[in-house]
Chains A and B, each alone.
Chain A
Amino acid sequence: MPEVRSPILELQGITKSFGGVEALRGVDFALHPGEIHGLVGENGAGKSTLMKIIAGVHTEFSGRFLIDGKETHFRSARDAHAAGIAMVHQELSVAPDLTVAENVFLGNQPTNALGLVQWRRMAREAGEQLARFGIDVDPMSRLGDLPIGLQQLIEIARVLFSGARIVILDEPTSALSPPEVERLFATLRRLREEGTSIVFISHFIEDILRVSDTVTVFRNGRKVAETASAATSKGALIEAMIGRGGEALEHSYTDDLLLPQPSDSAVVLKVDQLTLARSLKDISFEARAGEVLGIYGFMGCGQQELSRILFGKLKPDSGALLVEGQPKTFASTAAARRAGVALVPESRRDMLFHQEPVYKNISISILDRISSLLLKPAQERDIAKRQVEQLQIRPPVVGLDLGMLSGGNQQKVALAKWLTYPPKLLVLCEPTRGMDVGAKNDVINIVRDLRAKGLAIIVLSTEPETVLSLADRILVLKRGALVREFRNEPVSKDRLLEAA
């Protein structure tokens, strides 16, 4: 074990705040040569912020930053790169229209004396590198034609073989199939033998425990535990992640919550063996009137795709949707809307018109209900005013441009569009993400009201609290498959995380 050697990277007392909110509070972190260091913590616990400081993305912070025992301060990601630090970000950052070889050599293609790219050499070397990683693809094929998991592996391979001494992997396994994860781990272990230090961030605690030497746990911007992987367990890590005791302002859902008796009201939506390429495998479930169905899973588990299929924005490869018993294949989102399905996506930007006034944002989905040919602006404003009042949207001025509202209020507008003529099925993606406690409670109350009115509601979230605070029944989605259903039984954050 590498403990005897001095750390290659050492951070002391790192504090970082964004606009007065502390994202990191006095964090110490050390990384040794030839060590795989796992990082776990909830969304917003500070893992990614710390890694971005190491990778030179965030340059403003307080605390000491040492590389090879020497104090350093990066001014840019380029400085970090020069110091041998490379990071694979959670979102894919490849050039899909270039060849595999070009992607592997992105930014430093081999050239001859004239400055021309040496294609044959590039293809050969790229092929060799990928082969070391167990990837057998034609280096001259277009990257975008390959499956997403393979693209991600190639991006990881590019960074791993870039010669960096410190490699940071942020959530690398979420889009990978089990054999691909094996290949990645084998490569990580080999690089460890060669002396590379690796930081591995993941929500998949099993993955962390299998591959890392050391695990550090973050909670609310603090490092709360650091332990050898061999000396801990999934349960212990989850407990450290979410913490015991009431230090949080909100209900923390650490204790068991009893889910109610399953409803036997009418089935509004039936999903039968839905499958979509690498995203969803054989998904079947029902949503009932007057019931909130929660679907929980990690980022990239297929929630986004599932919600898009329900609203006619994506077409599944196979499987059926039945709305009130009628089989439906939505040709467009307009068809889904007419069938009584409504969606609020996780990104407000995708749902709202920032340069248009609030009332037009609220009326857009129901214009065909209030006017056949000519617009009725007075009626639109009345409807909007009613919604603004009911949802307590601030400021209560329906003529104001939407872009001038705060994020939480924008989220309420996104909901308000669907409420004047309530749909049969309301699909909510991350309905409370980024909201303060007050706004969150408002949304929770709105959803409960809608349930009381008999809507079938599906809440998809990567935050256990969101699902626990809203759902009557909970499905857990893991790598595109439904792995667990909680109904009429005790459930808690631990149990959800354990299942996912």
Chain B
Amino acid sequence: MTSSETALAAGQRARGLAPFLRSQMRNIAPFLTLIFLSGFFAFASPSFATLDNLGNILTQVSVTGIIAVGLTFVILCAEIDLSIASIANVTGIAVAYFTLQESYVNIANIPLPGAVAILLSILLCALLGLVNALGLTVIGIPSFIMTLAMMQIAAGISALLVRGQIAYKVPSLITTLGSGSIGGIPWLVIIAALMLLGGHLVLTYTRFGRYVYMVGGNREAAEYSGLNVKLILGAVMVISAVCSGIGGMLGVAHFGSAQQNEFDTYLLDSIAAVVVGGTSLFGGRGGIGNTIVGLFVLGVLNNGLDHVNIDSFLKILIRGLILLAALVINVYAQRLREKAAD
């Protein structure tokens, strides 16, 4: 719970428990879903509720988690970023492109020192995020359309860089962070946890974080309060792209290869994690705490379905239905809150 929510809770508690619970529905519902799913899979499969499997789940959600940090900022501002997976992909490919590959890899790449390769790749994703930002704020293209175009642009750059080939080598730092571990804990999980923590601290304790919530809560009022709304919206688009880029680089190391379309499923997963967690699609409500719960709901669901004997084609449908249910709750919770505020 963020501090804003505790303050809010204090105000609402004065009016009785029922309205308080109603106003907190968006935080409670995802948590109940998580407990229910965990209980169900633990009951259905003996191999689910083990420490080993918890490690698996954590590793499986890490890349999604890194990407979802930035996306949480964007959705809190009532915008959307559909280019996250493509930007992750192109950044992962770029860092491989700037690394010396084995002789059998047939890519006309530019090998550079590891640090330079990483820096250039981060610059690349920041630049793509900046293009999103300018399209949204200066030209005024709705983020949905702007990032849809960026999704294609980033995919296009990826295609040009690898030309249908697969690259394997990335700088050693990336290899360690993406696939190594320390004391039995994968670096990838540690990085994801640190980035989620960082996102939470920024959103909760910094002035910028407050602005994000206020712009998402009522953009008109933010403008009438003399905030530079465009600057804040631009910043969240860049943050989203950079988080995606980091997720992409580590993902490439984690998978062991860099190729076209390898992050496609991460678009839906990241949006699902943020929204299932209870962050409002209308902006201004939710946060990294919600995203973490959402990540676990998704992780438990994906992982748990592998532990029970179920038609693998049915799994896709089940995931879709769970996402739909979360969206219904998201919209419904918003309505309850508006009623409570009236």
Residues of B within 8 A of A345 (CB): 224
Contact pick for B214, options A349, A360, A377, CB 8 Å: A360
- Verify A399–B11 contact, CB threshold 8 A: yes
Residues of B within 8 A of A397 (CB): 11
CB of A49 within 8 Å of the partner chain: no
- Verify A356–B223 contact, CB threshold 8 A: no
A334-347 interface mask toward B, CB cutoff 8 Å, 1 = contact, 0 = none? 10111000110100
The interface size of chain A toward B, counting residues with CB under 8 Å, comes to 38
Q: A365: shortest Cβ distance to chain B, in Å?
A: 5
Within A372-407, which residues are at the interface with B (CB < 8 Å)? 372-375, 377, 397, 399-401, 403-404
- The stretch from B110-118, B204-212, B235-243 touching chain A is B204-212
Q: A263: shortest Cβ distance to chain B, in Å?
A: 27
- Verify B226–A333 contact, CB threshold 8 A: yes
User: In the bound complex, how far is the Cα of B226 from the Cα of A337, in angstroms?
Assistant: 5
- Verify A364–B223 contact, CB threshold 8 A: no
Contact pick for B10, options A313, A377, A399, CB 8 Å: A399
Knowing A356-B214, A401-B341, the reply to whether A350 touches B220 (Cβ < 8 A) is yes
- CB closest residue in chain B, given A365: B225
Within B218-239, which residues are at the interface with A (CB < 8 Å)? 218, 220-231
CB of B342 within 8 Å of the partner chain: yes
Q: A236: shortest Cβ distance to chain B, in Å?
A: 42
User: In the bound complex, how far is the Cα of B12 from the Cα of A397, in angstroms?
Assistant: 12
CB of B217 within 8 Å of the partner chain: yes
Residues of A within 8 A of B12 (CB): 401
User: In the bound complex, how far is the Cα of B210 from the Cα of A371, in angstroms?
Assistant: 12
User: In the bound complex, how far is the Cα of B231 from the Cα of A238, in angstroms?
Assistant: 50
- Verify A332–B224 contact, CB threshold 8 A: no
Knowing A343-B224, A367-B210, A401-B11, the reply to whether A354 touches B205 (Cβ < 8 A) is no
- Verify A373–B11 contact, CB threshold 8 A: no
Contact pick for A334, options B217, B227, B285, CB 8 Å: B227
Residues of A within 8 A of B231 (CB): 334
Knowing A354-B341, A364-B225, the reply to whether A375 touches B210 (Cβ < 8 A) is yes
Knowing A374-B206, A375-B206, the reply to whether A355 touches B341 (Cβ < 8 A) is yes
CB of B337 within 8 Å of the partner chain: yes
- CB closest residue in chain B, given A351: B224
B243-257 interface mask toward A, CB cutoff 8 Å, 1 = contact, 0 = none? 000000000000000
Q: B100: shortest Cβ distance to chain A, in Å?
A: 40
Contact pick for B223, options A333, A368, A374, CB 8 Å: A333
CB of A166 within 8 Å of the partner chain: no
Residues of B within 8 A of A336 (CB): 226
User: In the bound complex, how far is the Cα of B225 from the Cα of A11, in angstroms?
Assistant: 47
CB of B8 within 8 Å of the partner chain: yes
Residues of B within 8 A of A185 (CB): none
- CB closest residue in chain A, given B220: A350
Knowing A313-B223, A375-B206, the reply to whether A355 touches B11 (Cβ < 8 A) is no
Across the A-B interface, how many residue pairs have beta carbons closer than 8 Å? 101
Contact pick for B224, options A350, A354, A375, A403, CB 8 Å: A350
- CB closest residue in chain A, given B226: A337
User: In the bound complex, how far is the Cα of B224 from the Cα of A347, in angstroms?
Assistant: 11
- Verify A404–B11 contact, CB threshold 8 A: yes
- CB closest residue in chain B, given A343: B224
Q: A359: shortest Cβ distance to chain B, in Å?
A: 8
CB of A47 within 8 Å of the partner chain: no
Residues of B within 8 A of A417 (CB): 225
Within B299-342, which residues are at the interface with A (CB < 8 Å)? 337, 341-342
Residues of A within 8 A of B342 (CB): 403
- Verify A365–B226 contact, CB threshold 8 A: yes
Residues of A within 8 A of B4 (CB): 356-357, 360
- Verify A401–B225 contact, CB threshold 8 A: no
CB of B119 within 8 Å of the partner chain: no
User: In the bound complex, how far is the Cα of B231 from the Cα of A349, in angstroms?
Assistant: 23
- Verify A372–B207 contact, CB threshold 8 A: yes
- CB closest residue in chain B, given A339: B226
- Verify A360–B228 contact, CB threshold 8 A: no
User: In the bound complex, how far is the Cα of B211 from the Cα of A311, in angstroms?
Assistant: 19
Q: B48: shortest Cβ distance to chain A, in Å?
A: 39
A160-191 interface mask toward B, CB cutoff 8 Å, 1 = contact, 0 = none? 00000000000000000000000000000000
CB of B65 within 8 Å of the partner chain: no
CB of A204 within 8 Å of the partner chain: no
User: In the bound complex, how far is the Cα of B226 from the Cα of A332, in angstroms?
Assistant: 8
User: In the bound complex, how far is the Cα of B341 from the Cα of A353, in angstroms?
Assistant: 11
- Verify A373–B227 contact, CB threshold 8 A: no
- Verify A332–B205 contact, CB threshold 8 A: no
Residues of A within 8 A of B207 (CB): 367-368, 371-375
Within B3-26, which residues are at the interface with A (CB < 8 Å)? 3-4, 7-8, 10-12
- CB closest residue in chain A, given B201: A374
- Verify A364–B227 contact, CB threshold 8 A: yes
- Verify B225–A351 contact, CB threshold 8 A: yes
- CB closest residue in chain A, given B223: A333
CB of A352 within 8 Å of the partner chain: yes
Residues of B within 8 A of A349 (CB): 220-221
- Verify A357–B226 contact, CB threshold 8 A: no
Q: A397: shortest Cβ distance to chain B, in Å?
A: 7
Residues of B within 8 A of A332 (CB): 223, 228-230
User: In the bound complex, how far is the Cα of B224 from the Cα of A336, in angstroms?
Assistant: 10
Contact pick for B226, options A342, A356, A373, CB 8 Å: A342
Q: A377: shortest Cβ distance to chain B, in Å?
A: 7
Residues of A within 8 A of B341 (CB): 354-355, 401, 403-404
A11-44 interface mask toward B, CB cutoff 8 Å, 1 = contact, 0 = none? 0000000000000000000000000000000000
6 nearest CB pairs, A to B: A337-B226, A403-B341, A334-B228, A400-B11, A365-B225, A364-B225
Would you give 17 A-B contacts (Cβ < 8 Å), ordered by A? A336-B226, A350-B220, A353-B217, A353-B284, A355-B337, A355-B341, A357-B4, A357-B8, A364-B222, A365-B227, A374-B206, A375-B209, A397-B11, A399-B7, A401-B12, A403-B341, A403-B342
Using a CB–CB distance below 8 Å, which chain B residues touch chain A?
3-4, 7-8, 10-12, 205-207, 209-211, 213-214, 217-218, 220-231, 284-285, 337, 341-342
